[in-house]
Every structure is written in C-alpha cells, then in structure tokens.
Chains A and B, each alone.
Chain A
Amino acid sequence: MIAFLTLLEREIKRFLKVIIQTLISPIISSFLYLLVFGVSLGASVTLKNGMPYLSFLIPGLMAMGLINNAFQNSSSSVVTSKFSGDLEDMRVVPITNSQIIFAMGLGGVIRGFLVAAVTGLVGTVFHYYKLGEPLYVQHPFWILFFILVGGLTFSFIGIFIAFIARTFDQLSAFSTFILLPLTYLGGVFVSIETLHPTWQAISKFNPLFYLINGFRYAIIGSSDVQLGTSIFVCLMGVVVTYIMARIALVKGSFSRW
C-alpha cells in the first residue's frame, strides 16, 4: 500500500512540476474552444430540443480534457521514465504490476479531473455571462463516476501504448491517428443526430462516443445515448484496457531506450 501511494504521489508531483505543459496549456485550449465555438460561433445555434449550443459543448470539452490528459499523463510518464532509465527501477523495487497500473492510472485521473473541472468552471462562467444562469450539474454522482472510469481507461491505454512503443513517434502516431479522430468524431462538438445516418451508425462503434455522452448526460441531463449503455460500455472499457496495460507490463520492456 505504501509503495502504491508513493508511486501515486510521484505521478502527481511529476505533472505538477511541469504544470505549464500539463495543466495550464490544456486549460487554455479548452478556454479557446469555449470562446470560439461556444460563445462566438455557437451563439446563434440552438439545438433541436431547444438547448443552447454552449450547454451542449461544455460537457463535451470536459470529456475531451479528461481523455487527452489522462492519456498524456500516463504515457508521458512511462516514456520519459524509459528515456531516463527510471523505469528499470520500477522493475527492481518490490511493487506489483497492478500497483503500478493503478497508481499511474489514478495519476492520470487526477490530472484529467483538474483539467475537466477547470474547463467546467470556465464554461459555467461563460454560460452565466451568455445565458444568464450557470450550468448546473444534473447528476453529480455520475459525473464523478465517468471521470474515474473514463480517466482510468485512458490512463491505462496510455500505459499500454507507452510500454509497447519503441519510439516517441509511435506514441504520437497513436494520439494523432487514433485518439484525436475518435475524440472529434465521438460527439464533443456535434450531436450525432446532425450526422448522416452512415456516420451515425459508425459512431456507435466508437467507445469514446459513450464516454462523451455519459458526461453530457451527467451534466445536462440528456444525451444521444441511454445512461445505462454509457455506464456499461465505460465499465467494459476500463476492464479491457486494464488487461491490456497488464499484458504490456508483463510482456513489454522496462529497459531504457
């Protein structure tokens, strides 16, 4: 237990030491998205059910912040440790694979949570200013659930990719060619109702779609997906990605690059 808490502390301290890169910069980009899409462009848009676009966008951006930052945190932690030779130490000390995975996972959850929370706060300020009322969280329990489960899932994916990656390039290839498109197509900016039926069908195979919509449901009380389906898919996601991370630790290399 002490070993686990120590590694978690290390993970948190690590991202706090490079706070500009790990917290400030993602928060600024959320802020810009809100400003450009939510306030300027989206001001005139009202969705079918009469919902203002800004209310729709905020939970999407929060989910995106969580996903990106959880992934970035664990993957860059592993990759920089590989680079410095630090990761070898993880193999030498008496810490179990599941302790490593959960400590790194929670490190990512905490960073993702901070980015999502600040995005939500900034969002609600915009919301108040634009629409005259703050954005109330409809289901606080479920938002914490999706932050925890979604954050763990993407941290686990980060661990998996970073362990099997042989170069920085392979890691960024995953972000650019897989994670980024899935996030954008997962309903951060648009409701799938507005999409062509073919895209609607394809979106249903995108696991991120369920997380993003779970977020949206928890915050504004409605989304493109039933809450139960989101919960189920997200729980499946965390289990599958945990297994992937575990396999990566067992089969992958702790040796330095």
Chain B
Amino acid sequence: MLHNHFPLEVSHLVKTYALKNGVRVEAVRDVSFYMKPGEVFGLLGPNGAGKTSIISIITTLEKATSGSARVFGEDVDSNPYFTKKQMGVVHQEIVNTGFFTVNEILKFQSGYYGIRNNNERIDYLLEKLGLKDHREKNVKQLSGGMRRRLMIAKALVHSPKVLLLDEPTAGVDVHLRESLWQFVTELKSEGISILLTTHYLEEAEKLCERVGIMNKGKIVFMGSTQEAIAQYSTKKVYIEFNSGEAAVYTETASAGLVEILAHHKIQFTDIKNIKIEEGRLEEAFSKMVNT
C-alpha cells in the first residue's frame, strides 16, 4: 500500500488556540497517526486531550496551527472538495435543528453531497438506526438517543469511505451503546475506515484494532490495543491449591501461564482451581495518562 493512500493520515499536527485574554491553549502538540483501510482506529484520551480539535482540523472547521491532515493522500485544506466527499462526520455535540423533520434533514444532507434521489439509502439508514417510525418527526420531538442516531444517519447518507465518530456513545444509554457498537462492526465489515474517539475504554477494547492514546495534546502511546494492554496492564492469577490454600499473583499482561507457574515454582498437580483475570485497557490507559 502506498504511503499516501492511507484513508487518513495526520502528520505533525499542532493546534494552539489564542484566547481573547492572551492565554494560549496548546490543544494539539505534534500529533501524527494514520489509519489503515478498513480498520477502526481509536483515539483515546481524557477530556481536553485534544481529540475534538484534531477532528475539527480534519473537517476544516478549524485551521491547524501547523502540520497537515490528508485523506486518501489529499490535503484537507488544498483539496477540501475531494476530502469532504470521502468523509462522514458525527460531531460530539448534538445538533438541534429546530425547523426540519428527520426526512428533510437527510434529504438536504444528501443534496449537499450532490445526491438527488437518495431515498433507498435514506430508508436503509433509518431502518438500520431504528428511526423509521420517526422520519416525519421534527428534531425537537426526538429523544437524545434518537438525535444521536440521526446524526449518524446524516454522516452516512453519501456512503463515505471514512467515518469520523467523535465520542458517539457519550451520554448514551447502555442499550443504544451496544447497538451502536454492533453498527460500527457492520460498517467496518463493509470496508469503511473508522476513526473513533472515546474515553470509554471498554468501547475501544471491543472495537479498535489499534489505538492512539492522547494526553494533554500529545500521543503517549500508539499501537495495537493488545500491545497497549500487554505493555501497560497487569493480569491477576487466582490459584486455589489442593491443600486448601489460595494465592493471587499479579503479573505483566503479556506473561504466559506456564511462565508464571514456573516462576513461582508451582506444580500443576498441586492446583485445584485457577482463575485468570486478563489485563484491561482501562488500567493501561490510566497508567499512561496519569503520569
């Protein structure tokens, strides 16, 4: 795969906001990453880490202080018409357009992408996202969860190849969260490349092959989700012996069971029962961002 054909590539991105009172906020400090075709890439970080700022630069809502963002090799500033067509975006904040119905909003959105008769796609998305019975409703009449789903439908009307999801499950109930995860998995299987920002680590663990972990505007870890867990978290091994005694060992997440037993000089034959609690991204994450 050619380097410049990544669905999304961000290099040496810097974003400094200059506030009115003269204070400068260094929201993004030299961030680089790329997404492979068809992958779900997670951008993780606590609130204020700079995730939304990066998305805003990719969508041209904000201008980068320096550095660049490319979509399929094209710069988002010099060829926005191309890059915008490739992307669908779900903003973190819910949009509350008061004037129009769900159906009208999706039709307009299709029109902005130059698509006139898009009923089939709109029907499909409404069905998929459970909005079919609400299509004639005004946005004001929708619940928060429905609005969120409407925003997702909106981002997908033009069948984008790259989808940017900015904290799609923040403030969403458990049921909807699970169905959104399911939906993301389906989109991925259709070959869409997805950038997902989140601070729910369970979400990243479930959906993302690779993650970039951000803290205070910087990437502090980049690699596969498994690597993050293996390097930064621990697993717990609970052993119950035939003798009736019990013990707990805390090990690096990458250590194998045989290795662990050998290390503690434990014989297989002495073991009555064993329980392993695998390392979690949660732990890896808090180690990285709380330093």
Residues on A lying within 8 angstroms of B by beta carbon are 1-3, 5-7, 9-10, 13-14, 17-18, 80-81, 84-86, 88-89, 91-96, 254-256
Contact A88 B91 (CB under 8 A): yes
Contact A10 B114 (CB under 8 A): no
The smallest beta-carbon distance between B237 and chain A, in angstroms, is: 49
The smallest beta-carbon distance between B118 and chain A, in angstroms, is: 11
**B59 contacts which of A7, A18, A91 (Cβ < 8 Å)?**
A91
| Nearest neighbor of A1 in chain B, beta-carbon distance | B114
The yes or no answer to B80 lying at the interface (CB within 8 A) is yes
Stretch at the interface among B31-39, B103-111, B240-248: B103-111
Given contacts A86-B97, A92-B84, A93-B84, whether A254 and B111 have CB atoms under 8 Å apart is: no
Residues on B lying within 8 angstroms of A by beta carbon are 59-61, 80-81, 84-85, 87, 89, 91, 93-100, 104, 107-116, 154
Given contacts A88-B91, A94-B85, whether A254 and B112 have CB atoms under 8 Å apart is: no
Contact B85 A85 (CB under 8 A): no
In the complex, what distance in Å separates the CA atom of A89 from the CA atom of B94? 12
In the complex, what distance in Å separates the CA atom of A190 from the CA atom of B284? 77
In the complex, what distance in Å separates the CA atom of A25 from the CA atom of B61? 36
In the complex, what distance in Å separates the CA atom of A92 from the CA atom of B164? 11
Contact A91 B61 (CB under 8 A): yes
Contact A91 B60 (CB under 8 A): yes
**B112 contacts which of A18, A88, A95 (Cβ < 8 Å)?**
A95
Query: Hey, which chain B residues are within 8 Å of A255, CB to CB?
Result: 61
In the complex, which of the residues A2, A3, A6, A81 has the most CB atoms of chain B within 10 Å of its own CB atom? A6
Contact A85 B84 (CB under 8 A): no
Query: Hey, which chain A residues are within 8 Å of B87, CB to CB?
Result: 92
Query: Hey, which chain A residues are within 8 Å of B60, CB to CB?
Result: 91-92
In the complex, what distance in Å separates the CA atom of A255 from the CA atom of B62? 9
Contact A94 B81 (CB under 8 A): yes
> What are 21 A-B pairs at a CB distance below 8 A?
A2-B114, A5-B111, A6-B108, A6-B112, A13-B99, A13-B100, A14-B100, A17-B100, A18-B99, A85-B93, A85-B94, A85-B95, A85-B96, A86-B97, A89-B109, A92-B84, A92-B89, A94-B85, A94-B112, A94-B113, A94-B114
